[in-house]
């Protein structure tokens, strides 16, 4: 798919961020929809930020395409919210990307079902097969992508701008909620009656695959429940590196 946006390069990301980075999430989403049309794709993992962004997209730029990565290890609660979102925003189809079955079969045959607990390298291998490679496939017909990243989600995200150049995928990446706080997200969810993952009510601020996500205790860092056996600086799945 070729659009006007295909002409953007890494040099444009900084300029666009200076121009648009301080605008509201709704304005950034509208700009993205008008600029890229269906050539921009939103990666929805159905966490609180992502259901907010889905609602903003539905109201401001419904031509933005939406996809999700089904790793095969998600919680039931995640499928439930996925279904509720599909129903509420039925005009916006959700592309569901699955991992390459041969790679998953060979990983499990050689290393078992919990290899990701053994080392950061093994964990990254599982994330690469179940998340990163399907993401690349999802983006193969896009010229930009959109995420619900926020700065205070993780020590790895504090310098992330609203519009950045994604070197790995060689395209612009748009993060309209980057400046939002956790309270902003929940105020939006409640005010707009957005369907959300009920694991959030059970102490899960951040939700990924079932075996790699746990509830946190009061006062713990919001990413403490993700890959809790690793150091904070390693806690990215490869989608946002």
DSSP assignment string, 154-199? -TTSTT--SEEEETTTTEEEE-TTTT--HHHHHHHHHHHT----GG
- Per-position x/- string for 86-125, each x denoting binding to ligand SF4 as judged by CB under 6 A, each - no binding: ------------------------------x------x--
- Per-position x/- string for 62-91, each x denoting binding to ligand SF4 as judged by CB under 6 A, each - no binding: ---------x-x------------------
CB of 103 to ligand SF4, least distance (A): 12
For the segment 7-26, give every residue that binds ligand SF4 (CB under 6 A): none
Size of the residue set binding ligand SF4 (CB under 6 A) = 13
In the Cβ-directed half-sphere of 67, how many Cα atoms lie within 13 Å? 23
Active site residue 237: yes
Instruction: Classify 238 in phi/psi space as left (phi over 0), alpha (psi -120 to 50) or beta.
Output: left
Q: Does 32 help bind ligand SF4 (rule: CB under 6 A)? A: no
CB of 35 to ligand SF4, least distance (A): 32
CB of 127 to ligand SF4, least distance (A): 4
- Per-position x/- string for 191-210, each x denoting binding to ligand SF4 as judged by CB under 6 A, each - no binding: -----------------xx-
| Of 119, 118, 116, 139, nearest in space to 129 by CA | 116
CB of 197 to ligand SF4, least distance (A): 15
Strand partners, 172: 144, 165
CB of 96 to ligand SF4, least distance (A): 15
- Pick the closer one to ligand SF4 by CB: 33 or 208: 208
For the segment 129-188, give every residue that binds ligand SF4 (CB under 6 A): 130-131
What sign does the CA torsion over 111, 115, 118, 124 have? positive
- Pick the closer one to ligand SF4 by CB: 142 or 237: 237
For the segment 211-230, give every residue that binds ligand SF4 (CB under 6 A): 211-212
3-state secondary structure 52-116: HHHHHHHHHCCCCEEEEECCCCCCHHHHHHHHHHHHHCCCCCEEEECCCHHHHHHHHHHHCCCHH
> Do residues 207 and 199 lie in contact, with contact meaning Cβ atoms separated by under 8 Å?
yes
Q: Give me the residues that bind ligand SF4 (CB under 6 A), please.
A: 71, 73, 116, 123, 126-127, 130-131, 208-209, 211-212, 237
């Amino acid at each position: 798919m070729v659009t006007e946006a295909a002409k953007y390069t890494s040099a444009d990301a900084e300029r666009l961020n200076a121009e648009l980075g301080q605008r509201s999430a709704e304005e950034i989403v509208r700009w993205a929809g008008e600029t890229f049309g269906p050539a921009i794709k939103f990666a929805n993992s159905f966490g609180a930020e992502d259901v907010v962004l889905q609602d903003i997209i539905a109201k401001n730029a419904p031509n933005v395409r939406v996809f999700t990565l089904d790793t095969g290890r998600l919680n039931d609660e995640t499928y439930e919210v996925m279904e509720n979102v599909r129903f509420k925003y039925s005009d916006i189809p959700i592309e569901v990307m699955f991992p390459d079955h041969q790679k998953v079969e060979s990983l499990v045959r050689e290393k078992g079902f919990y290899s990701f607990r053994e080392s950061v390298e093994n964990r990254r291998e599982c994330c690469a097969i179940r998340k990163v490679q399907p993401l690349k496939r999802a983006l193969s017909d896009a010229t930009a992508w959109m995420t619900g990243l926020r700065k205070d989600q993780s020590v790895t995200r504090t310098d992330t701008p609203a519009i950045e150049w994604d070197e790995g995928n060689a395209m612009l990446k748009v993060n309209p909620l980057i400046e939002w706080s956790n309270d902003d997200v929940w105020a939006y969810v409640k005010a707009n009656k957005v369907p959300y993952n009920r694991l959030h009510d059970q102490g899960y601020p951040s939700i990924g695959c079932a075996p790699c996500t746990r509830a946190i205790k009061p006062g713990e860092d919001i990413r403490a429940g993700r890959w809790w056996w690793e150091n904070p600086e390693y806690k990215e799945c490869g989608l946002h590196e």
